[in-house]
Amino acid sequence: MENNNKDKANIINPASETEKRKGGFFGDLVDKCYELMDNKRIFYPTMAVLVVVACVFPQFANAYLLEIAWTAMFYMLLAMGLNVIVGYTGMFDFGYAAKFAVGAYTSGILVHTFGWNFWLTLPATLITATIAACIIGGPTLRLRSDYLTVVTLGFGEITRITARNLSITGSASGLSGIRSPYLFGLQLKDISHWFYVFLVLVILFVLISNRIKNSRFGRALEYIREDEDAAEAMGIDTVRYKLWAYIVGSILGGLAGSFYVMKMTAISPNSFQFLQSANIMLAVVFGGLGKIPGVMMGALFFIVFPEVFRGVAEYRMLFFGLLLVILMIFRPQGLWPERRR
C-alpha cells in the first residue's frame, strides 16, 4: 500500500523527484544555508562575527588587499542599487554607470570647483539623482523587456558623452586634485580610512535593501516583476511603482558615486563606459536576482577572481568567460538566488 501511495504521488506530481535532483550539490548547499539562516540564533551571531572580522581586517592586511576589499565593497554598493531595479522590479538597466556618474560629478564639481564641504554635497546628490531618474524613467518605464534595455543603454552613453564634452566636468580629461573630506577632524586619505567608510556604507545599504524588500513597496515590486499585467489588474499602479524603484536605485548608485570620487580624488568619463554597466549587471545576475547576499557574492567574485588569476593575465578573462558559461548552464538562477516560497 505504501508503494502504491508513493506511485500515486509521483503520478500527481511527476516533477517532484526531478526537481529535488536538479539542484545538485551546490543547490543542496544553498538550501542548507537557507535553513541555517532562518534560525535567528544562528543568523545574528553569524552576522556579528562577519562584521567583527571585517573590522579587524585592516589590522592584518596590507595596502594591496585593502584596495581589493575596498573595490569589492564599492561594487557591492552599486550591485545593491541595481538590484532594486533589476532584482526587485525586473527592469533590465544596462546604463547603470550613468547613475553613479551623476553622483560622482555632482560631488566632484561642488567640491573641486565651488569649494563645498563634501558632506553638504550629499543632499545635492540625492536631488540630482532623483531628477536624472525622472528624466530617464518618466518617458521610458512604460516600455518593457528589450526595448527598455536598449533605452537605458542609450541614456548611459548619452551621459558619458555629455560629461566628455562639458567644460564644467573637465571635458575628456575629467577632474583631478579633488580635496579629500574630513570626518571628525580626520582627513580621509589612507586606504584603511576608506575601508571603514565603505564598510559602514555596505551595512547601511543592506539595511535599506532589506527594508525595501520586506515593505509593502517591495511586495508591489515583486508582483510587478513576476507578472506586470496581473499586478496592474489587481490595482497596482505599475508605472508609478517602477518609477519609484528607478529613483531609489538611482539614489543608491549616486551616493556610491559620491564617495567613490572622494576616495579617488579624480574622475573622468572613461570610468563610466558600457563595460562598467555590464559588469554591475553581471554581478547581480551572477549572484542571484533579488537576493542581497547573492548580489554581494557576485560583486565580490567579479573583483577577487581577476586578482587571483593575475599571474596568467593573458588567459584570466578566458577562464572568467568559461566559468560564466558553466555557471549559466548548471546554475542559471545564480550563486545564491532568492528562495521561492
Write out the three cell numbers for 33: 544555508
What residues pair up with 182 in beta bridges, in sequence order? Answer: 187
Q: Which residues touch 31 (CB under 8 Å, ≥6 apart)?
A: 23
Give the total residue count for the chain. 341
What values do phi and psi take at 159, rounded to 5? Answer: -60, -45
Residue with cell 543592506: 206
pLDDT score of 235 more than 50: yes
Answer yes or no: are the C-beta atoms of 126 and 243 closer than 8 Å.
Answer: no
Tens digits of per-residue pLDDT, 170-206?
888 889 989 999 998 889 989 999 999 999 999 999 9
CA of residue 63 relative to chain centroid, distance = 25
| Mean pLDDT computed over 207-226 | 91
Which secondary structure element, helix H or strand E, spans residue 267, and what is its range?
strand 266-267
pLDDT band at 19 (very low <50, low <70, confident <90, very high): very low
Tens digits of per-residue pLDDT, 280-318?
988 898 888 888 888 998 899 888 887 877 776 667 777
Give one DSSP letter per residue of 151-181, joined into a string. HHHHHHHHHHHHHHH-TTTTGGG-EE-PPPP
